[in-house]
Amino acid sequence: MIEVLIQRALPDLGGSAIPPFHDVRSARDWLKLLPMINVPVAHDEISQAIAQLNQSRLAALESLKIIEQFRESVHTLQDAIISKLINKPLPLSTEEQALWDAVDRLWLCMETTYARGWHAACNNEIGITEFLPLLAERTLYYSCKQHCHLAHIYRKPSEAQWRQIFAYYELAKAQHIEKLKARDSLIQISGVTTPESIFLHALLFSAANPHQYTFKQQIWLNNRLEILATRSSLSPIAQTLPNRPALYIDLQAPSSPMRRQGERYDSELEIDTYSLAQVIIKRIKLLRMGEMPDKIGLGTELSPQTAEELLRDLYRAWCEHPTERALPRRESQRYLEAGTGLSNLHFWLAKNNFAPPPQTEQYMSSTELMQIRMFGQTSARSSAMPVNVIETQQWQINNETAQGICLQRARDGQQRIQLHQLMMLADGKTQLLGQVRWLAETHDQREIGIELLPGMPEAACIRAQDAARFGQGDFTKVVMLGALPALKSPATLLLPPGWFRQGRLLDYWDGHQLNRIRLVSLLGRGVDYERVHFVPSGGL
């Protein structure tokens, strides 16, 4: 049985490649000469060296000592490359995709090195057998790294990737080493973990739906899981909150954890979420009592309020997970048009039914004022009305609720999408506005979840009073959302990022009349907009 698992999980040994070092000492000297200040060159060189190490006949113990020396440098270079991909819209550009692929290849190389050592230990190679728990932990660690790296570009692990990490865990379990501790200097708090904890890390990360989180939030979640995963376990029957179904996995059908609904099978294991619930509830209470996140093991990356919100999300995803939704989804096969970009959405709404704002001499645009001062008149080109091309894309509705819509379409590069981006949806004569709440990709499909914003959208233009005093009287194209008394939602403006300042006075043009308004409060923001409550502020 173990022989079958070894063959299924671990790579073959042997090879004919010659790495640029032949033992630990020469590898240490090679690493000292690596130009770490030149990240692209250093990243490429260390990737090639480890790939050659994986295809060489170097002794397994020697390979283990070498790769352990390389770990810190590898992670430093990986972080430097990944920082260039933070919050990039999808699909990635050609250059961005090349960077992402380079990071993915290096994580795979690290996984392969430890997996080869694991294979050698299974063959009782001299000197390596005693490191079996460490090799299993490191192999699972870098397999988990690949899963998390996929989430950075909101891509789901493939079936093959799930099968691989499950195969590693099954082998560790068959060898009775899944609960044995291994030292790991990259585990920030305790420095010790087990193969099962790393496997649970990958499972709980996936169950948390990371596709709804920003890169910063995903990193926070990863760091917290180093501890949270050690507070859980896998067993045929696990403890859960009262009247709550368990999260479980099926070793015969590798995938993200599922919610228990039917009968149990021998190949299934449940995740202990009761202990997780206790840990999370305790920290939420401490945050509400005024404790700072870093004092209770929650790091310094997030504010107390944001950390509490994420803990509540994790509690619902892992521990409560009700079997029925508060708002049921309605399946649909309809298509609709979707557009992004605040200015683009303004033109879409303004098409054929919005008069441009008046331009008086007092409030001429800054460009026109400059031309008058320099040439005595405005140019014919600037006075001509621009031709605005409205950019939209067709999406299919997968399902919908009263507060959101799930859309899908084939992956392509026609429209780049980003988390928390403003998007308008049009179905016939109905137009709705929302923000991208989550997004996920497979090899050929893209799905996005749209959280609808209350109110019917209308085109509008605004002009800042404080800017007008300096001769900058240009109007800015925005969108207004009408009030919805039934939802206690006031009329709001969607402004470009950075526009909100409490009490700021604006000239407001609705297509018919010029009024003066005052900004009251910021109700929400995304990557390309701010949603602001406003009130009238007298006549002009």
215 inside domain: no
User: What does the pLDDT average to over 170-192?
Assistant: 92
What CATH code is carried by the domain that includes residue 351?
A: 2.40.10
Instruction: Identify whether the C-beta of residue 297 lies closer than 8 Å to the C-beta of residue 246.
Output: no
Same domain, residue pair 77 and 166: yes
Those residues with Cβ within 8 angstroms of residue 361's Cβ, 6 or more apart along the chain or in another chain: none
Question: Which of these three, 432, 452, 472, is where a domain ends?
Answer: 452
Residue 370 has pLDDT above 70, yes or no: no
Cis peptide leading into 254, omega within 30 of 0? no
227 inside domain: no
Burial of 256 (C-beta count, 10 Å sphere; 0-12/13-18/19+):
middle
Question: Which of these three, 409, 425, 452, is where a domain ends?
Answer: 452
Burial of 305 (C-beta count, 10 Å sphere; 0-12/13-18/19+):
exposed
Same domain, residue pair 447 and 312: no
Helix-strand-coil percent breakdown of the chain, rounded to 5?
Answer: 40, 20, 35
Q: What are the φ and ψ backbone dihedral angles of 12, each rounded to 5 degrees?
A: -70, 155
Q: pLDDT tier at 368 (50, 70, 90 boundaries)? A: low
Helix (H, G, I), strand (E, B) or coil at 435: strand
- What does the pLDDT look like over 143-178, one tens digit per residue? 999 999 999 999 999 999 999 999 999 999 999 999
Same domain, residue pair 253 and 176: no
Q: Report the half-sphere exposure of 112 (CA within 13 A, side-chain side).
A: 18
In which element (H, E) is residue 116 found? helix 94-122
Most confident of 188-192, 209-213, 385-389: 209-213
Instruction: Identify whether the C-beta of residue 503 lies closer than 8 Å to the C-beta of residue 488.
Output: no
**∠ at Cα 341 (521, 367), nearest 5°?**
85
Question: Which of these three, 291, 324, 357, is where a domain ends?
Answer: 324
Same domain, residue pair 191 and 299: no
Closest by CA position to 229, among listed 207, 252, 261, 254:
207
Q: pLDDT tier at 380 (50, 70, 90 boundaries)? A: very low
- What does the pLDDT look like over 85-144, one tens digit per residue? 998 898 889 999 999 999 999 999 999 999 999 999 999 998 999 999 999 999 999 999
**∠ at Cα 261 (255, 262), nearest 5°?**
100
Residue 381 has pLDDT above 50, yes or no: no
Instruction: Identify whether the C-beta of residue 435 lies closer than 8 Å to the C-beta of residue 457.
Output: no
Residue 363 has pLDDT above 60, yes or no: no
Q: What is the pLDDT of residue 2?
A: 87
Q: Report the half-sphere exposure of 155 (CA within 13 A, side-chain side).
A: 22
Same domain, residue pair 20 and 138: yes
Closest by CA position to 34, among listed 19, 17, 18, 49:
49
Q: How far apart are CA 373 and CA 390, in angstroms?
A: 34
User: What does the pLDDT average to over 71-95?
Assistant: 93
Residue 533 has pLDDT above 60, yes or no: yes
Domain that holds residue 338: 330-452
Instruction: Identify whether the C-beta of residue 500 lies closer than 8 Å to the C-beta of residue 522.
Output: yes
- What does the pLDDT look like over 196-234, one tens digit per residue? 999 999 999 999 999 999 999 999 999 999 999 999 999
Q: What DSSP line would sit under 454-477, residue for residue?
A: SS-EEEEEEEEHHHHTTT----EE
Q: Which residue has the higher pLDDT, 540 or 337?
A: 337
- Considering the chain, what is the average pLDDT of its residues? 88
151 inside domain: yes
Same domain, residue pair 88 and 179: yes
Predicted TM-score of the model (pTM): 0.88
- What does the pLDDT look like over 255-272, one tens digit per residue? 999 987 777 888 999 999
280 inside domain: yes
Instruction: Identify whether the C-beta of residue 83 lies closer than 8 Å to the C-beta of residue 96.
Output: no
C-alpha to C-alpha distances, 407 to 72, 395, 411, 529, nearest whole angstrom: 41, 6, 12, 21
Same domain, residue pair 318 and 339: no
Residue 537 in tokens: 């502020």
Domain count, the chain: 4
Q: How far apart are CA 261 and CA 377, in angstroms?
A: 75
